[in-house]
Amino acid sequence: MGINTTSSSIETKSDLVQESAPFCYHCGESAFSPVIEAGHNFCCRGCRLVFKLLKSRGLSKYYQIKNLYSEGERGAPVSEKKTDFSFLDHENFQKEYVTEIENELQIRFYLEGVHCSACLWLIEKSPEFIVGLNGCRLQLSSSVATLNFDESCSLSSLATEFKKLGYFPHPLKPNEKSESLARKEERDLLIKMGVAMACMGNIGLLSISIYAGADGTIARQFEWLSFLLLLPVILFSAIPFYKNALNSIKRKVISIDLPIVIALVAGTLGGMLNILKGTGVVFFDSMAALVFLLLLSRYVLMKARQGGVQSSRLEFFKSFGSCRRLIPSSGETENILASFLKPLDLILLKTGEMLPVDGLIMKGKVLADTSLLTGESKPSLLEQGQKIYSGSKVLGGEIVVKAEIVGDQTLLGRILEKVNQNILEKPPLLTQVDRLAQFFVTIVLFLAIGVFLFFAFQDNGHEGFLRALSLIIVTCPCALALATPLAFSSLIGKLAGRGIIIRSENVIEKISEAKNIFLDKTGTLTQGEFVVQDWEPKVSREDLASIVLALEEKSFHPIGTALVNYIKENFEYKTINLENWCETPGLGVEGELNGKKYQLKRFQESSIGLFEDELLILTINCQDGLRKDSRKSIEKLISMGLKTFILSGDCQTQVSSAAALLGLSGNQIFWNKGPEEKFEIMNEYNASIMVGDGANDALALGQASVGVAVKGSIDISLKAADIYLTNPGVGLITKLIAYSRETVKLIKRNLVLSLTYNAIGAALAIMGLINPLWAAILMPISSLTVLASTIYGTKKMRRFEKGELI
Amino acid sequence: MTVLYILLPLSIILGGIFLAAFIWSVNKGQYDDLETPAKRMLFEDENKN
């Protein structure tokens, strides 16, 4: 009964809150139980802290700018956790990450949490209040800040300052090769586009006079001039198409580039022949326009991808972690980056820390959470002489571990390897649009060749050539090629602003098609920490809370911490000094008061009891609390027609009680599932989205049609996932699905539009009713219709944001 | 119409100059980040005295 009564009380409470939840003054999230400061609401203490800090430094203008220029933008709540950045000051680290430029030191950080122009203002203002920081430039689209500083300021203090402002810094290695390559590629494309456009404009001017009826010498001279102007376009700007077409021939597939190249070559040669013969039309203007528009569409797509996530950006989160290394000679510890650890190093591990190596416990005893590897939410007790594996998180206690295996060969490293391999083996996603375009292009190509041959056999090669060329030009899928990236780019940009980072635009279609959604429980649906659900005294006494407090205050078990917080918030308590206090990890705590022995230990599964001389006087139910938005999100998912499942490595009672609170029935839950089993389940269910956060989810995330990693995800599941949510919880998933569905609808509409258009155009071209010139005029018109449809579609999505449709 | 023989090359040279300027600006990195500078200029300068 205990669970049920609390569930209903939680329900009514959250229903009440949802109706009138104010928004956080700092980050804009709904503040379910607001913290109030200076008349403003805050969603958490972290946000309030940043507000106070900004106010004390006279930086309150941040909020003005935020309201003025960043309408609708939301950040993420600021975490209050303290992080020790002293590993940044380590010599090895500086050698790899810091560059020296003109007597100044430079480092780049990826700042997690940057979202709007007010962030830009605040971060670029930082040199005014951080001593030693001389310059700071932020690139908003990639959230990368470049800092110039001098010796008077340590890196760790810099990092701590940014952390305090609410932006978690991840250091970046300088000038990574892939990055400079990508930049070169982008600039290259831009220059090719510029050349194509300049030539297109000039050819266009010349062509107008020819179309207008210029004749004789002037017309011939203009034709020669436009031919000269076309040369840079054909020989320089169009290079990417030749390369792609060659590649596609090598891979024995037909890509859009192939007919483009054929049209370009045929058009140029044909036009040249016409000039030499002095008869017929030239259509160099449409060739140049074709190249320019196609390059433009590629540029738009490239920019769109940058709005999402580049693989290099995901690397930031990888291998990032520091730990304390014992220096044997002095007995002191230093904080260093985990990747600098060597075998036989001694590592000191304290509560809340995660072990980066496989090793042997040399000293101490801990309660460790190994859920990362096994999915088991119950902690296990490990002591001296036992092995401990990478990825284990210490819940309580302190140990010294001798590293045996470091780096890639650790258990965690090997799982990572496997995940990587799975990703490599996963075939690249072919979207419906790609497949359709391929099919379409093949047909057009064969049709064109057929038409040409048909006329050539009738000894009318010239007519055949004209008709085939018109056919290829009029059916050029560049409208589609431009509209689809545009739709994707606006979606990816919009989602990135909401904290949803998409690795590749190809998954959008998969999301819209998904039928099942699997949610991990621990850390995804729940907070990932224990919360007291139920407090049931068996006798009426006033000192129960004080006794429990005294028992648990010194405990390092997570339940103990939860109890202490709960008591301090809900009860009046006295400080009691217990005698003979002792804690047996895995069993409980006990102590004596006035000759009576008090024990707090596990009573039934997931509940604990307080015993006075072996007599039960109080039961407490502790659970990993559900996130506030979990129930609402799940209801929405179900209303969207998705079969919703919980897929957890946790025990049955934990999972089913969570499912009951979330309104899910018994056949929609899976419990006790290890990484391999989760993987199998993903294999069984097609068209499913998997949402998870632990390393135990990584395999499944890689296998699912769409893998979504939620905030707090360990790097490994991040690597396997297609999408990363920067805000905790599953609330963003509903948005992601709604947006994706709308975008796919839009793209399908565009497809139908352009296919109809192309079919009509193709028929006309084959019948010889339009010549290449008319084809070149009709082509941009079709592009315009598709573009108009895209713009209309994205407008509709804007209404989404205002909450009119969701 | 002979004026065209002066005007046309002139216009193309002019176009070429702009194209060269564009290529120079791309290589200088002016197009690398299209978002941040657009927002940066919105902030008012504070009084330096």
Identify the pLDDT of residue A12.
38
Identify which of A785, A511, A518 has the alpha carbon closest to the alpha carbon of residue A671. A518
User: Over 50: is that where the pLDDT of A5 sits?
Assistant: no
Residue of A nearest to B31 (CA): A187
Mean local confidence (pLDDT), A624-645: 84
The residue among A7 and A60 whose pLDDT is bigger is: A60
Looking up tokens 């284990």 gives A392
Vertex A388 angle, CA A384 and A394, to 5°: 90
The residue among A313 and A353 whose pLDDT is bigger is: A353
All residues at 6 or more sequence positions from A718 whose CB lies less than 8 Å from its CB, including other chains: A314, A317, A318, A709, A724
Highest mean pLDDT, choosing among A36-45, A182-191, A338-347, A387-396: A182-191
Percent of chain B exceeding pLDDT 70 equals 88
Mean local confidence (pLDDT), B32-48: 75
User: Over 80: is that where the pLDDT of B17 sits?
Assistant: yes
Of A120, A186, A191, the CB nearest to B39: A120
Mean local confidence (pLDDT), A163-191: 81
The residue among A242 and A729 whose pLDDT is bigger is: A242
The residue among A755 and B48 whose pLDDT is bigger is: A755
A502 forms bridges with which residues in the sheet? A723
B27 touches chain A (CB under 8 A): yes
A111 touches chain B (CB under 8 A): no
User: Over 90: is that where the pLDDT of A311 sits?
Assistant: no
Q: CATH topology for A86-175?
A: Alpha-Beta Plaits (3.30.70)
pLDDT tens, position by position, A676-714:
788 888 888 888 888 887 666 777 887 788 888 876 555
The one-letter amino acid at B45: D
The one-letter amino acid at A180: S
The residue among A72 and A498 whose pLDDT is bigger is: A498
Cβ atoms of A353 and A393 within 8 Å: the answer is yes
First-to-last C-alpha distance (Å) of chain A: 36
- State the Cα–Cα distance between residues A553 and A564, nearest whole angstrom: 6
User: Over 60: is that where the pLDDT of A17 sits?
Assistant: no
CB spacing of A120 vs B4 below 8 angstroms = no
Using CA of residue A680, residue A684, residue A686, residue A688, what is the dihedral sign?
negative
CA distance, residue B17 to nearest chain A CA (Å): 11
Per CB-CB distance under 8 Å, the chain B contacts of A111 are none
Identify the pLDDT of residue A646.
87
Predicted confidence band of residue B25 (pLDDT cuts 50, 70, 90) = very high
First-to-last C-alpha distance (Å) of chain B: 62
Per CB-CB distance under 8 Å, the chain A contacts of B48 are none
Identify the pLDDT of residue A605.
63
The pair of structure tokens assigned to B29 is 């990195």
Secondary structure element (H or E) that encloses residue A334, with its range: strand A333-337
What single DSSP character describes residue B41?
T
- State the Cα–Cα distance between residues A440 and A477, nearest whole angstrom: 9
- DSSP-derived 3-state class of residue A333: strand
Identify the pLDDT of residue B10.
93
A interface mutation test: which of B11, B43, B44, B45 has the most A CBs within 10 A? Answer: B43
Bridge-based pairing state of the strands A516-519 and A643-647: parallel
User: Over 90: is that where the pLDDT of A191 sits?
Assistant: yes
A232 touches chain B (CB under 8 A): no
Percent of chain B exceeding pLDDT 90 equals 41
Cβ atoms of A600 and A589 within 8 Å: the answer is yes
Predicted confidence band of residue A15 (pLDDT cuts 50, 70, 90) = very low
Cβ atoms of A693 and A713 within 8 Å: the answer is yes
Predicted confidence band of residue A75 (pLDDT cuts 50, 70, 90) = low
Identify the pLDDT of residue A176.
64
Identify the pLDDT of residue A189.
93
Percent of chain A exceeding pLDDT 70 equals 81
Q: Per DSSP, which regions of A420-546 are E strands? A: 500-502, 516-519, 526-537
Mean local confidence (pLDDT), A550-564: 75
User: DSSP labels for A739-768?
Assistant: HHHHHHHHHHHHHHHHHHHHHHHHHHHHHT
Average pLDDT, chain A: 77
> What are the φ/ψ torsions at residue B47 (nearest 5 degrees)?
-65, 120
Cβ atoms of A158 and A145 within 8 Å: the answer is no
Poorest-pLDDT segment among A203-212, A257-266, A386-395, A556-565: A556-565
Predicted confidence band of residue A479 (pLDDT cuts 50, 70, 90) = low
The one-letter amino acid at A671: W
CB spacing of A187 vs B43 below 8 angstroms = no
pLDDT tens, position by position, A435-455:
777 777 778 888 888 888 888
Bridge-based pairing state of the strands A346-349 and A393-405: antiparallel
Mean local confidence (pLDDT), A391-419: 77
Cβ atoms of A303 and A489 within 8 Å: the answer is yes
pLDDT tens, position by position, A225-260:
999 999 999 999 999 999 988 988 888 777 777 878
Identify the pLDDT of residue A325.
82
Per CB-CB distance under 8 Å, the chain A contacts of B19 are 194-195, 198
Residue of A nearest to B33 (CA): A139
Identify the pLDDT of residue A712.
58
Identify which of A109, A460, A444, A5 has the alpha carbon closest to the alpha carbon of residue A254. A444
All residues at 6 or more sequence positions from A791 whose CB lies less than 8 Å from its CB, including other chains: none
Identify the pLDDT of residue A433.
67
pLDDT tens, position by position, A578-605:
888 877 766 778 888 888 888 888 776 6
All residues at 6 or more sequence positions from A496 whose CB lies less than 8 Å from its CB, including other chains: A307, A308, A502
User: Over 70: is that where the pLDDT of B46 sits?
Assistant: no
A201 touches chain B (CB under 8 A): yes
Secondary structure element (H or E) that encloses residue A264, with its range: helix A257-277
CA distance, residue B29 to nearest chain A CA (Å): 8
**CATH 3.40.50.300 corresponds to the domain A317-422:** no
Per CB-CB distance under 8 Å, the chain A contacts of B43 are 65, 117, 121
Cβ atoms of A79 and A46 within 8 Å: the answer is yes
Identify which of A702, A634, A695, A699 has the alpha carbon closest to the alpha carbon of residue A668. A634
User: Over 60: is that where the pLDDT of A11 sits?
Assistant: no
A141 touches chain B (CB under 8 A): yes
CA distance, residue A225 to nearest chain B CA (Å): 10
Predicted confidence band of residue A305 (pLDDT cuts 50, 70, 90) = low
Mean local confidence (pLDDT), A711-735: 71
Identify the pLDDT of residue A309.
46
Highest mean pLDDT, choosing among A184-188, A209-213, A725-729: A184-188
The residue among A606 and A488 whose pLDDT is bigger is: A488
Of B11, B16, B26, the CB nearest to A190: B26
A531 forms bridges with which residues in the sheet? A623
Identify the pLDDT of residue A233.
94
- CATH class, domain A529-626, is alpha beta
pLDDT tens, position by position, A498-554:
777 777 777 888 888 888 898 887 777 877 667 777 788 888 777 788 888 888 877
Identify the pLDDT of residue A86.
79
